[in-house]
Amino acid sequence: MQAQLPFYPDQASNFAPSVDALMTFLILVSLFFAVAITAAIVFFFFKYRRKSENEVGYPIHGDMRLESLWIIVPAFLSLAMFGWGAVVYVDFRHAPQDTLDIYVIGKQWMWKIQQPNGRREINELHVPIGRDVKLVMASEDVIHDFYVPAFRVKMDVVPGHYNTMWFRPTKAGTYRFFCSQYCGTNHAVMGGWVTVMDPSDYAAWLSGSSGTDSPLVAGEKLFTERACVTCHISNGSGRAPSLNGVYGGTVRLADGSTVTADDAYIRESILVPSAKIVAGYQPLMPAFQGQLTEDQILSLTAYIKSLQSQPIPATGAGVLTTGKK
Amino acid sequence: MSTSPTTPAVHQLPEEHYLNSTYGLRSWLLTTDHKRIALLYLASVTFFFFIGGIFATMIRIHLLTPNGYLVTPETYNKLFTMHGVAMIFFFLIPSIPAVLGNFLVPLMIGAKDLAFPKINLLSWYIYLVGGCFVLYSFATGGLDTGWTFYTPLSSVYSNSAVTPAVIGIFINGFSSILTGLNFVVTIHTMRAPGMTWFRLPLFVWAQYATSIIFILGTPVIAITLLLVGLERMFHLGFFNPALGGDPILFQHLFWFYSHPAVYIMILPAMGVISEIIPTFTRKPIFGYTFIAASSIAIAVIGFFVWAHHMFLTGESTYAALAFSLLSYLVAIPSAVKVFNWTSTLYRGSISYDTPLLYSLGFIGLFLIGGLTGLFLACLGLDIHIHDTYFVVAHFHYIMVGGAVMGYVGGLHFWWPKITGKLYPEFLARMAAVILFVGFNLTFFPQFILGYLGMPRRYHNYPPEFQVLNVMSTAGASILALGYLLPMLYLTWSMRYGKVAGPNPWPATGLEWRTPSPPPTENFDVTPVVDWEAYDFKNRPDLGLTQPSGPALSPAHGDD
């Protein structure tokens, strides 16, 4: 168990103990140097005070051994800090498989959050203990940042990009979350509460009410309403590639390069289809830039992600492999 | 040249010097004398320090209570933005180079003036024009983008006077570039006979390193802010994703300059400290070449760490790893300087004069600022403390605890040279202590606030953060007193101070071998340098006795 200092906030996620341990290590190293140097200065200050008006100090120009020592020792300590910090960070940036995906949209000055079953929340986030949760985040306007101090996690929410972050809640309770990237007038009130619940409570809460379609259902409706379905025919006979099994796989483009069909690729292909043309197809699709909200793009992505069941049609020249077996 | 300190003589001001050689407004506004231009800068950066200080005071009063009763959220956002813009672009960046550097670089190398005296005056006018645009922005709607001007908030969404502000900073950039160019050419071509590179005062090395950053970095920020202005005015899509731009591109461009800009602020202050410590310990600085080389190392490596401000923007994990490692690399030359300064005190003849108190204060505060930089460079820890008050505390320790302490300490050290007068020593020592205590009380609680999770740029905050905020505000009022005191007694001393004489400390630099205040042409005859920097031992002209005490082994570098 990590010893908690009084200025450490609640530890409520898998990252909290590892970040705090790192903090403790850096505090100890820093304290050592701060105390040692301050003590040396204070000691010299009194010990070598000027005794007579005309006195000069003893001329010492330097010492190679000392110089090497205080280059090499800080270099090794720095490497240790870098390495340990890198381990925690790389873990944070790479979400495990099978996460509970929750969509988060930031806009001036509120957070819209949607659970996998479609239940929506404003400035609140409910998550179950012990489950790996991944937030998929987009912004409607400026850059925001979703920050949960008790989880020791934050990530910028950038317009035009999808950023994700993951964590595993470990302790039931309610914790503050903040917007920590300055986003204009009411930046300071763009926050809310994260509620960490037992899985059974979470399930009960989820089923409590919904009212809105899940992202998947909403996406399927949009797919028809926006006439995507007229070209993206599932058996591959349409003017556009079938989207079955596309998500997570590798797509070959007209220029011969390949790209991984992740959230960012799907998003770009909806908004600016001409950016990356799938090999074997014409650039016919209209651009949806400015015509879909971030919610709608997320819903469409969720629907496309779900289209994994049917086999890849032979004519879908661009699709090389499927993402999930 | 100088009289022995044991027989204090009554000094007289020289009959003619740079301050009284000509009179009238015209003689100041059209001057090409680097010393007068330094004083023009001194007046203008003090003005901006005052403006920025007023904004800071209002911020701290507002944050006394969780729901902030003083100003509206909109005004609060403008206050911290304008505080940052005034302090960084119009006070911190020009302060030491344009005031002390301008005054001292020619004197220290034994030159009559800078290489391009008219361009030097032009720099000041450019600074003024840029300053006027920014003041116009402050007066007509203010600025609420944060000093970082992050897009698309600044380029699309902000309703404040962004355009005049970015034009002002764009223009002001040329002032920095020209000053840097002037210093580099001067240091290369105008050193007095015998003033080799490794006899240069370390202050000159620091100015040289700073000038490199001025020249290489400033064009990038100027162009970047111009792009923000163009996107705002003509809707060209550079950074706005709705127009096909990328907001992250702005951050890369912005920090490419703005991280090195931190070194623009701190390197000259390190140069000041490297002058003061040998003078008040009366011994050569420990590890001259290491301190000189570390200035250059910081200037060079400082250009390759910018994306450590962007670990959480979604940048590639590999980029984050590289920039974290490079950030640790730049910490090492800074550590080298601290160790060398501390070692210089060993077996010194330490006097408790004001400039030394500032220098020791500088080391203490820079130490904390530098060590907490390691926390932020640490990838795993940055996830939690990025964009919190931890960052605010860290960079104030560097910029205020470091750069401003260095600047104020340097002003005290060279004040007798600049004005020919001494300031009241007791008051000055008091002020140095008040500043140190006030500073720590203001900013140390902010480290804790940051780790507890208080984000920066918040006009109100959860009630559990109040105690620490009240401590910080209390500290700020002590700090304000610490700044007001020197302003008052330094101004007072110009008229009523005791006459200083050419070398009151005494110090070894060339600038102390000419009268105080110096004549317009600096030296009556071109000086010839035949001693090493900070060499008190071989300088009978200083009137000091030879070192005593047991000899050291040759391994200690005893010459």
- The answer to whether A272 contacts B244, with C-beta atoms less than 8 Å apart, is yes
Q: pLDDT tens, B460-502?
A: 999 999 999 999 999 999 999 999 999 999 999 999 999 999 9
Nearest Cα residue in chain A from B76: A185
| Residues of chain A neighbouring B246 (CB-CB closer than 8 A) | 160
Q: What residue spans in chain A does CATH classification 1.10.760.10 cover? A: 215-321
Q: Which residue has the higher pLDDT, A264 or B196?
A: B196
Q: How confident is the model at residue B542 (pLDDT cuts 50, 70, 90)?
A: confident
- The answer to whether B453 contacts A160, with C-beta atoms less than 8 Å apart, is no
Counting one residue from chain A and one from chain B, the pairs whose CB atoms sit within 8 A come to 313
CATH architecture of A15-50+58-93: Orthogonal Bundle (1.10)
Cα(A245)–Cα(A289) distance, integer angstroms: 24
pLDDT in the model for residue A224: 85
For the cut 70, the answer to whether the pLDDT of residue A322 exceeds it is no
Which of the four CATH numbers 1.10.8.640, 3.40.50.620, 3.90.79.10, 1.10.760.10 does domain A215-321 have?
Answer: 1.10.760.10
| Residues of chain B neighbouring A52 (CB-CB closer than 8 A) | 545
- The answer to whether B544 contacts A66, with C-beta atoms less than 8 Å apart, is no
Cα(A39)–Cα(B180) distance, integer angstroms: 38
Mean pLDDT of all residues in B527-553? 76
Judged by a CB distance cut-off of 8 A, whether residue B241 touches chain A is yes
Q: How confident is the model at residue A317 (pLDDT cuts 50, 70, 90)?
A: very low
Q: How confident is the model at residue B545 (pLDDT cuts 50, 70, 90)?
A: confident
Q: What residue spans in chain A does CATH classification 2.60.40.420 cover? A: 100-208
Q: How far is A250 from chain B (nearest CA, A)?
A: 19
Mean pLDDT of all residues in A82-103? 95
Q: pLDDT tens, B291-300?
A: 999 999 999 9
Q: pLDDT tens, B312-322?
A: 999 999 999 99
| Mean pLDDT lowest among A109-118, A230-239, B163-172, B227-236 | A230-239
Cα(B247)–Cα(B238) distance, integer angstroms: 8
pLDDT in the model for residue B2: 44
Is domain A100-208 given the CATH code 2.60.40.420 in the classification?
yes
DSSP letters for B91-144:
IIHHIIIIIIIHHHHHHHHT-SS-S-HHHHHHHHHHHHHHHHHHHHHHHTT---
Considering only the beta carbons, identify the residue of B346, B363, B381 that sits closest to A26: B381
Considering only the beta carbons, identify the residue of A15, A67, A176 that sits closest to B462: A176
Considering only the beta carbons, identify the residue of A67, A178, A182 that sits closest to B287: A67
For the cut 90, the answer to whether the pLDDT of residue B346 exceeds it is yes
Amino acid identity, position B133 = F
pLDDT in the model for residue B449: 96
Q: How confident is the model at residue B559 (pLDDT cuts 50, 70, 90)?
A: very low
Domains and CATH numbers, chain B: 31-539 (1.20.210.10)
- The answer to whether A57 contacts B281, with C-beta atoms less than 8 Å apart, is yes
- The answer to whether A55 contacts B321, with C-beta atoms less than 8 Å apart, is no
Q: How confident is the model at residue A122 (pLDDT cuts 50, 70, 90)?
A: very high
| Mean pLDDT lowest among B7-16, B417-426, B503-512 | B7-16
| Mean pLDDT lowest among A155-159, A288-292, B46-50 | A288-292
Residue B88 three-state SS: helix
Percent of chain B with pLDDT over 70: 96
Q: pLDDT tens, A253-308?
A: 888 888 888 888 888 888 888 888 888 888 888 888 878 888 888 888 888 888 87
pLDDT in the model for residue B558: 41
Interface test with B, best of A89, A139, A267, A291 (most B CBs within 10 A): A89
Looking at residue B479, the DSSP 8-state letter turns out to be H
Q: pLDDT tens, B106-151?
A: 999 999 999 999 999 999 999 999 999 999 999 998 999 999 999 9
- The answer to whether B451 contacts A186, with C-beta atoms less than 8 Å apart, is no
The residues, any chain, with a CB within 8 Å of residue A287's CB and separated by 6 or more, are: A271, A272, A273, A274
Structure-token match 């200037």, residue found? B299
User: Residue B6: exposed, middle, or buried by beta-carbon count in 10 A (0-12, 13-18, 19+)?
Assistant: exposed
Considering only the beta carbons, identify the residue of A8, A41, A58 that sits closest to B451: A8
DSSP element (H, E) containing B550: none
Judged by a CB distance cut-off of 8 A, whether residue B293 touches chain A is no
Judged by a CB distance cut-off of 8 A, whether residue B282 touches chain A is yes
Q: How far is A315 from chain B (nearest CA, A)?
A: 32
Tell me the pTM.
0.88
For the cut 60, the answer to whether the pLDDT of residue B178 exceeds it is yes
Interface test with B, best of A142, A166, A293 (most B CBs within 10 A): A142
Q: pLDDT tens, B63-108?
A: 999 998 899 999 999 999 999 999 999 999 999 999 999 999 999 9
pLDDT in the model for residue B547: 57
Interface test with A, best of B80, B289, B294, B374 (most A CBs within 10 A): B374
Cis (ω within 30 of 0) for the bond into B518? no
Q: How confident is the model at residue A83 (pLDDT cuts 50, 70, 90)?
A: very high
